[in-house]
Structure formats: structure tokens, C-alpha cells
Amino acid sequence: MKIKSSTVLRNDYNTISTLAHESQEPIYITKNGEGDIVLMSVDAFENRERVLQHRAAILEAEFSRLSGEPSYTVDEIRCKLKEKYDNA
């Protein structure tokens, strides 16, 4: 975890920007010694969003499975796909 003061952000933006890009981690900015904002590179943010969307999709699938909706094994899916390809 990277923590920097708002003074560093104000006076040396390029250093903070470089740190964000190199570390690919959030940078916590403090103001008067208290947490104020969190900064991250666009790439790190987009990657984080992809991970969160992927986790949400997995959770949704797991909730569906637990609620009794039909599910298939990998072998069952392979057989169904093979049948479709053979019949095409």
C-alpha cells in the first residue's frame, strides 16, 4: 500500500503518476494526516473492474447453481457440443 500526502500530489504530480503506473496499486492520499482520496492508473482501474465483473459473474452462477437451476459437467457440455458439430 502506498500512502502519500496531498502536498506531494500538489507539488510533484509526475512522481505520483509514475508511482501509480509502476506499482499498479492504489495510492492513498492523505489530507491533514487523514485519508482523503485513492488514486490509481487507468490500466490498474480497468483491470480491477474486469476482476470485479468476473467475480460477480462467478457469484451469479454459483447462486443459480445453489438455487437448483440445472447445471452441466464439462463432459456433458463436450458431448452436447460434439453432437452439434457432428450434426452441422
Q: Which domain CATH number covers 16?
A: 3.40.1620
**What is the DSSP code string of 13-77?**
HHHHHHHHHHH-S-EEEEETTEEEEEE--HHHHHHHHHHHHHHHHHHHHHHHHHTT-----HHHH
Q: Do 78 and 57 share a structural domain?
A: yes
Q: pTM for this one?
A: 0.69
Instruction: Give the pLDDT confidence score for residue 1 in this predicted structure.
Output: 78
Instruction: Give the pLDDT confidence score for residue 2 in this predicted structure.
Output: 87
Q: Do 51 and 24 share a structural domain?
A: no
Whole-angstrom distance, CA of residue 58 vs CA of residue 61: 5
Q: Do 50 and 35 share a structural domain?
A: no
Cell of 59: 457469484
Q: Do 25 and 55 share a structural domain?
A: no
Tell me which residue range forms the domain holding 16: 2-40
Each residue's pLDDT tens digit, 5-24: 899 888 999 999 999 999 99
User: For the chain, how many structural domains are there in total?
Assistant: 2
